[in-house]
Structure 1
Amino acid sequence: MRIHKNNRNSLLVIVIFMALLVTLQADMALSRDKEAKGAGEIHYACPAGCSEWTIDVDVFGYSDWLWFHPDSTPSHEMLSGDWAAAIYYDGIETSPQATWLTDYWICPYYRTAETFEPVSGPTYTSGDQSAGTSTIRDRAMTQVEIQIDYELVCDGPVAMNIGSGLFVPSTDCIAYVTYTIKNTSATLPLTNVYFYQLLHGHPGDEYDPEVTGRYDPAFIPTYNQQNYHWDISMWAKSSFGNVEYIGFSVDSTLYPFNRYDVADFRDAGGNIWPATGLNKDVENRVLLNRNSLGPDCIAGAMEWSLGTISPLGQKEIKVMLSMSNSPGPRRLPSLTGYGLLVLIILLVLAAITVIVRKRRDVMTTV
């Protein structure tokens, strides 16, 4: 049967309309479900003086929306993408796998294990604030509570390592995210605790497999927040022609991370949770210490081995989230090659200057 061209166009319009309707209904159902459980989102914004980006975070610490608007650049996405945490401990319902703190993943819409429930935290709001706290609890093992604190501050710029001795300075606005894992039991220890942080970024509004990522532990002197120098950064060329960066670092004064990984995280289509990729590696607790990947659809993750949390005890993980639209990477100062030669010349000149001054002093005395 031949279908008239106008009829084909009409059918195409109907199909597109139905697809949009299904997506809208899924979004509304997800929002209603989250509201019913008290798992709202809060809109965090950088404070006055460094208002360079904003992020929407739910009660589980998860985000899919991070809007970057440095200088005169129009506001655009840097995540979309996922910023999510996971945990494992003996007795967790997903054992032997880790479980994500959130069970809602947005664009695409995924559903993962519903292990945690809100205890307290942010509710839906249209206003901006720079800090907030939420608490969630294991539905089955109610002795396990996790407090999640967000704080956006003007503590930058920090150095974002991108490998090969290179780094970029971040914007002034950075975010501290603190996870406090609490054992509320007065008698039972919480054993074999592992914690994970994952960043799946699309910096510069780049949604194609054109993102590059790298793990780099280099210590960069002269920049702010020196405690944070275990970095996973990712970058891509933006639609504005420049390269933009997103990454996270670990507070080395607390518990050092155990393993890390930079690997693929590709959409499987149809709102189906990808069967392979870094998302599954985190769940399976098999981070492989891979240093870099890209250009591709990528993510980076770190793992902490926290051991045992004693009765009524707690342990804390603190990470820092940062952005950059730096015009170009900078090189870590080195005392090799020309750098060493320049240092030697400066030392020789300084020595000559000292000798000349001493001789002048002697001649003046005589």
Structure 2
Amino acid sequence: MRDVAVVAYCRTAIAKARRGALNQTHGIPMAAHVIREVTARAGLDPQVVEDVVLGCGLPEGATGHNIARNAALFSGCGTGVPGLTINRYCGSGLNAASIVANRIANGEMQVGIAGGVESISLVQFNLNLNHFVYEPLQHQFPGVWWTMIQTADYVADRYAIGREAQDAYVVESQKRVAAAISAGKLAQEITPFETVMSVKDKETGEISEKTVLLTEDEGPRPGTTLEGLSSLEPVNARGTVTAGNASQLSDGAAAVVMMDAELAAQKNLTVLGLFRGMQLAAVAPKEMSIAVAPAIQRLMKHHGLAMGDIDLWELHEAFAVTTLFNQAELDTPWEITNVNGGAIALGHPYGMSGIRYLGSTLMELDRRNKHKAIIGVCTAGGMATAAYLERS
């Protein structure tokens, strides 16, 4: 088996769904932008790419019609570069990376792009819900069709993770994101993207368009306080999830170039790190948030890893309760867990997030001169993906 190197990473800044800079940007130019930029960052001719695999949580409409192939074409890769779109909801990006990595490791190809894209603005609010629910399965497993907020409330209640603990976690996460921004860490990931957004005048209701250059994440609220969070009403009656302790609905795209590590060395390319592998886990659909821990435990067992081997942990912030449960279950040290904050502050474009975790975690390993990291991402339906990364 060949070692699989990640030689470049980039992403768009993350924009607020419906109100942000990407609120009318089609998925094709968004994904094509990061494909084009990540190939340039790698220093490669786009036509050497042998496959483009994109994760997308809602692959229809503006992110449908095999967006991976279409974005590859629009990016300038050429007609000879194929594309594959996959969906495992929030785990889609990591699954895309795993597919590319496996093909490289098995010698089927040498260079591939893995990415993720989501336009919640253009897709989520216009979904095709014709025959969406299949009643016999819903009767057996109603949680399959619960909202993610319902699953988070269920986990918070069942495992006694209270509102105050969730809100306190958010305050710390926002602080970590603010510190990462101040240090210039996030700017290193972001490729500026010029687009046209729709703007609604609050007083007249008139809608206009303006050209914008998206260079910074729109979600972070550095002034977040426990008092402010505690004043927010729960989304569901008797629940604990609020707009403040849940990841934000957002738009964005990200990509990595992955290649045979020996080839990368021959070409004297910068290697961010190695993608060592991915594992999955599944639980009852209504307990979606808790699946990260068993996925990570399976991953560590497969690779013969001990807790003390790991230098960085990235536990998905679908909700504050998600991170709190899995951190407690795994007992990861807070000082090396989600060190630059997470999706509650930054936002969570479903298909993009796994790629963002992959790229940003490798960059943080380099800053710290550390070597091993684990990423865990829960996903709709009661599943989770976990990946093991290594920097030599």
* Smaller-chain TM-score bracket: under 0.3
TM-score normalised per structure 1: 0.25
Normalized per residue, the structure richer in strand is 1
Higher RCO (C-alpha 8 Å, min separation 6): 2
Question: Rg: which structure is higher?
Answer: 1
TM-score normalised per structure 2: 0.24
Normalized per residue, the structure richer in helix is 2
